[in-house]
A = this chain, B = another copy of it.
Amino acid sequence: MSALAQAAHIREENSRPDAMREQLRQHFHSVRGFTEELCEPLEIEDFVVQSMPDVSPTKWHIAHTTWFFEAVVLARASLGHHPFDMQYAYLFNSYYVSLGERHCRPKRGLLSRPTVAEIYRYRSYVDDAMEQLLDVVNNDELMHLEPLIEIGLHHEQQHQELLLMDIKHVLAQNPLAPAYVEATKEWKAREETGLEWVDLAEGVQEIGHGGGGFAYDNEAPRHRVYLHPARLAGRPVTVKEYLAFMEDGGYDRAEFWLSAGWNWLNEEGIQAPLYWFRTNGEWRIFTLTGMRSLHPDEPVCHVSYYEADAYARWAGARLPTEAEWEVAASPLTIRGNFVEDGNYHPIAMPAAASDQPLQQMYGDVWEWTSSHYSPYPGFKPLPGPLGEYNGKFMANQFVLRGGSCATSISHIRTTYRNFFPADARWPFTGIRLAQDS
């Protein structure tokens, strides 16, 4: 059973606590185990480095996700729990003001201790406590704890993606350009077909999460929106297309850029997507499988909102709104190039996607929408500390949709709202065009 189906199944079984208990245990094992699997290729030294304030060291990620279960589940359970180390709440709380003082984010890379070995001991200790909890908790309390455990697992999946984003950023700073893993699949060029467009009808539509299965608070409530006639591109923008923009002076022509974007690119000296390096007149790209040539037909990746928006303007198009994206995506089956595929990079048009009119909507690259990240009408944050999970970031960020090659397939949903500031480039971000019609 796939991880996605498994998660759905847990929900269906809501009224049958014994099955739920077992499935929760399996889900817990599989998600926690996957984090450790992702760390296997790393050297101890790799776990320590923080390459910019937005990046966290790997060992911080694996401790923080563990602390999350201590603080959100174990601390509330009737069973009682003795924390592994009283100072870890300070070191590994990320941004939950209501859960107490915490270590300064940009200084996470200054901590050589606890060691990686110690943090793995911490993980085992908490995993054991969770195991025990799932054994002994009664059904009533289990029903109460289940959503907290589930959010802890979705939280861990988000950090799995962050871990890959962050370790990529760390390795990319290194003049030795070390690979996270060796590429295992041979690259096959695919002839790109011309760009096709898919129409969206005008009128009142519904978007947002309406109950049934897990969702974050920011995806609710399901509500009506008015869509204007538009069309969406049948696939993401490719490297070859983006190179045409660059060769047409895209980065030197203010007319394509938002004012803030133009200032940003001039201050930062941006001339290409993140992780593109120009050597002897040739663009090369750093990926989690090392430095290599560009593959023209794969989706362009690691662009900021500003670049996505400028590209769209150059192309005589625009970015879709998040409502347009969701309405278009909702009939589609969720499949694509996700982290479980082990590519760790977007790939050229996969054969498996070819029977859907909109291709690669899920996986490969997070698609920038033109929608600022704002509350849905009637939005209510979760009560307590988890209310800080999403709502407090609703200013000056843009929504991205669909998941990426670094996302778990069991983590993504049609209604899933990811968000980043307009200048963020270290997520696996890409571009899908839209047009008024």
Contacts and interface: CB of A to CB of B under 8 A. Distances in A.
7 contacts: A43-B113, A46-B113, A48-B49, A97-B262, A223-B228, A261-B395, A372-B374
A110 B51 contact: yes
Interface string A294-327: 0000000000011001000000001000000000
Nearest to A264: B395
B112 A43 contact: yes
Given A45-B45, A49-B110, A261-B395, 13 more contacts: A43-B112, A43-B115, A44-B44, A46-B113, A49-B112, A91-B175, A91-B176, A97-B262, A103-B175, A204-B226, A224-B226, A259-B392, A260-B395
Interface residues of A, number: 65
A87 interface: yes
A366 interface: no
Interface string A151-187: 0000000000000000000110111101000000000
A116 interface: yes
Contacts of A173: 107, 110-111
Contacts of A375: 318, 370
Interface stretch (A250-258, A273-281, A328-336): A250-258
Identify which of A90, A305, A394 gathers the most chain B CB atoms within 10 Å of its CB. A394
Interface string A96-113: 011000010001011111
B392 A113 contact: no
Given A95-B259, A223-B228, A260-B396, A49 B174 contact: no
Looking at chain A's contact residues, the main secondary structure is mixed
Given A173-B110, A204-B204, A228 B258 contact: no
Interface string A65-79: 000000000000000
Identify which of A47, A109, A173, A392 gathers the most chain B CB atoms within 10 Å of its CB. A392
Contacts of A436: 377-378
Given A175-B103, A204-B226, A260-B396, A45 B43 contact: no
A371 interface: yes
B395 A110 contact: no
A393 interface: yes
A225 interface: yes
Q: Copy number of this protein in the oligomer?
A: 4
A234 to B, nearest CB: 21
B175 A112 contact: no
A59 B49 CA distance: 13
Nearest to A59: B45
A422 interface: yes
A48 B48 contact: yes
B176 A87 contact: yes
Contacts of A393: 258-260
Contacts of A59: 45
A175 B370 contact: no
Interface in A350-374: 370-372, 374
A210 interface: no
A114 interface: yes
Given A226-B224, A228-B223, A109 B395 contact: no
Contacts of A113: 43, 45-46, 171, 174, 176, 178
Contacts of A46: 112-113
Contacts of A51: 110
